[in-house]
C-alpha cells in the first residue's frame, strides 16, 4: 500500500497546476484520503491552524461567491486541491520519506523533459510542447526547490545525491528557460554548499569561486538553449528584461482595471476572481487585445485581489511565523528567497499544492524525517 501511495503522489506532482486533468487530480486526491481510513478506527488529526485556515478561506470564498465571478471554479479548484492534500499530509497512515520521493520525482521530471525535447513524448501539459525559441512546456519544475529546502531545514551537507539532483534540475530548468526557478535553484545550491563559518577560509573560498566560474562557463556554452543565452544579458539588468517589464505593466493595468473601492481594498473580491487586461503588441499585432487570466503573474496581487489588505496581512504574518519556526539561518534564507521570488513572478505558490510540504515540515517538526 505504501508503494501505491507513492505512485499516486508522483502522478499528482506531474499533474498539479494544470487545467486539463482536474477530474484525475480530484480522483487521486480522494484516493489518497481513502488510504488514511482504517477499518479498526477512523480518527483524523485536525490542528487548530488548519481549522482557522479553512474558516478564513470560507469567509473570502463567500465574498467571491457574492460577486458571481465568471467561471470561478478555474480558481477555486486549486484551493480545494490544496486543502485535501494538506489534510492527507496531516493524517497519512504510511509515513512517506518525502525527500527520497522528491529525488525520484526529480529524475522522472528530467526524463520527461528530455523525451519532450527529442520529440519522443507528446505534450500532455500544453497544446504544443514547444514555445518561443524552443521553450518546452511540461510538468512542474519545483521538485529540486523542495529538495533544497529539505536539505537546508535538516542541516544536511552537500552530497552526491544532492549534486546529481542539482545537475538534473539545472538541465531541465534550462530547457524550460524559466529564470525564476533557475534563480531559486541556484540560490538553494549556494546555500547548501556555502558554510558561513568557513566562507573566508582561502581554500574554501577558492573552491566556491571555481564552482561559480564553472557555472558561468556552462551558461556561456552551446549546451544552453538559445533563449537562455539571450536572457543572460539581463542578469545584471533585470529591469530591462521584457518578461519582468510585462509583469510590471500587467500589475499596473490590473489595478486600473479592477478599480477597487475602499471596502474592496480591505476585503478584496473573494476567491474565484479573475483578471482581464488589455495587452498591446506592436511587433505581433495579432496578439493585441484583451486577455483574461486566473490571475496575472504576481502572487502578492493574487492575495490582494481576493482578500485585500486584510488577507494580505494574514498572508504575510503567517509566513513571518513560518520563518520564525525554521530552526537555522540558511533554511530561513532559502525559504524567504523561494517565497519572494515565486510570488513576485508567478502564482505557482497557489496552484502547485506540493509547496504545502514546506509548511507541513515546519509545523509538524518534520515528523517524516528518517
Percent of the chain predicted with pLDDT > 70: 81
Cell of 191: 546555500
Cell of 316: 504575510
pLDDT at 110: 95
Q: Encode pLDDT of 132-180 as tens digits.
A: 555 788 899 999 999 999 999 999 998 999 999 999 998 898 888 788 8
What phi, psi does 290 have (nearest 5°)?
A: -90, 140
Pairing of strands 275-279, 289-293: antiparallel
pLDDT band at residue 368 under the 50/70/90 scheme = very low
**What region does 177 belong to: left with phi over 0, alpha with psi -120 to 50, or beta?**
left
What phi, psi does 220 have (nearest 5°)?
A: -90, -5
Residue 276 CA to residue 237 CA, distance in Å, equals: 29
What phi, psi does 84 have (nearest 5°)?
A: -65, -45
Identify which has the larger pLDDT, 322 or 254.
Answer: 322
CA–CA distances in Å: residue 337 to residues 129, 171, 181, 222, 341:
29, 21, 11, 29, 6
List the domain boundaries for the chain: 2-239
Cell of 234: 539581463
CB 41 within 8 A of CB 91: no
pLDDT band at residue 235 under the 50/70/90 scheme = low
Is this model's pTM higher than 0.85 or not? yes
Query: What rounded mean pLDDT belongs to the chain?
Result: 85
Q: Encode pLDDT of 172-206 as tens digits.
A: 988 887 888 988 999 999 999 887 666 666 766 67
Residue 361 clears pLDDT 60, i.e. is over it = yes
Helix axes 179-193, 160-176, angle to 10 degrees: 160
pLDDT at 245: 78
Q: Does residue 293 sit in helix, strand or coil?
A: strand
Residue 103 CA to residue 9 CA, distance in Å, equals: 13
Q: Encode pLDDT of 93-130 as tens digits.
A: 888 999 999 999 999 999 999 998 888 888 788 766 66
Query: What is the rounded average pLDDT of the residues 44-66?
Result: 94
pLDDT at 40: 59
Query: What is the rounded average pLDDT of the residues 74-83?
Result: 95
Residue 340 clears pLDDT 80, i.e. is over it = yes
Amino acid at each position: 500500500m505504501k508503494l501505491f501511495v507513492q505512485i499516486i503522489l508522483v502522478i499528482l506532482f506531474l499533474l498539479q497546476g494544470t487545467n486539463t486533468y482536474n477530474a484525475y487530480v480530484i480522483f487521486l486526491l480522494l484516493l489518497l484520503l481513502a488510504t488514511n481510513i482504517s477499518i479498526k478506527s477512523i480518527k483524523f488529526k485536525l490542528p487548530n491552524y488548519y481549522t482557522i485556515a479553512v474558516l478564513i478561506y470560507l469567509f473570502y470564498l463567500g465574498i467571491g461567491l457574492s460577486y458571481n465571478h465568471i467561471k470561478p471554479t478555474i480558481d477555486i479548484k486549486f484551493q480545494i486541491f490544496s486543502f485535501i492534500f494538506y489534510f492527507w499530509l496531516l493524517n497519512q497512515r504510511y509515513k512517506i520519506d518525502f525527500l527520497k520521493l522528491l529525488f525520484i520525482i526529480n529524475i522522472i521530471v528530467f526524463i520527461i523533459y528530455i523525451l519532450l525535447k527529442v520529440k519522443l513524448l507528446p505534450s500532455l501539459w500544453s497544446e504544443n510542447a514547444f514555445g518561443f525559441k524552443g521553450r518546452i512546456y511540461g510538468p512542474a519544475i519545483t521538485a529540486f526547490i523542495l529538495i533544497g529546502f529539505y536539505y537546508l531545514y535538516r542541516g544536511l551537507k552537500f552530497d552526491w545525491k544532492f549534486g546529481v539532483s542539482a545537475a538534473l534540475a539545472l538541465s531541465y530548468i534550462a530547457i524550460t528557460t524559466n529564470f525564476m526557478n533557475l534563480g531559486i535553484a541556484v540560490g538553494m545550491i549556494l546555500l547548501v554548499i556555502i558554510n558561513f563559518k568557513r566562507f573566508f577560509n582561502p581554500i574554501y573560498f577558492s573552491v566556491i569561486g571555481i564552482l561559480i566560474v564553472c557555472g558561468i562557463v556552462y551558461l556561456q556554452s552551446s549546451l544552453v538553449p538559445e533563449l537562455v543565452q539571450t536572457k543572460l544579458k539581463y542578469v545584471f539588468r533585470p529591469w530591462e528584461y521584457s518578461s519582468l517589464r510585462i509583469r510590471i505593466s500587467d500589475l499596473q493595468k490590473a489595478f486600473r482595471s479592477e478599480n477597487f473601492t475602499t471596502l474592496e481594498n480591505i476585503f478584496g473580491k473573494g476567491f474565484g476572481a479573475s483578471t482581464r487586461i488589455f495587452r498591446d503588441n506592436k511587433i505581433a499585432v495579432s496578439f493585441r487585445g484583451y486577455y483574461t487570466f486566473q490571475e496575472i503573474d504576481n502572487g502578492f496581487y493574487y492575495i490582494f485581489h481576493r482578500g485585500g489588505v486584510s488577507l494580505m496581512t494574514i498572508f504575510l504574518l503567517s509566513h513571518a511565523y513560518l520563518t520564525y519556526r525554521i530552526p537555522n539561518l540558511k533554511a530561513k534564507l532559502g525559504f524567504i528567497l523561494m517565497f519572494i521570488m515565486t510570488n513576485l513572478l508567478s502564482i505557482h505558490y497557489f496552484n502547485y499544492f506540493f509547496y504545502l510540504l514546506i509548511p507541513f515540515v515546519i509545523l509538524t517538526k518534520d515528523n517524516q524525517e528518517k
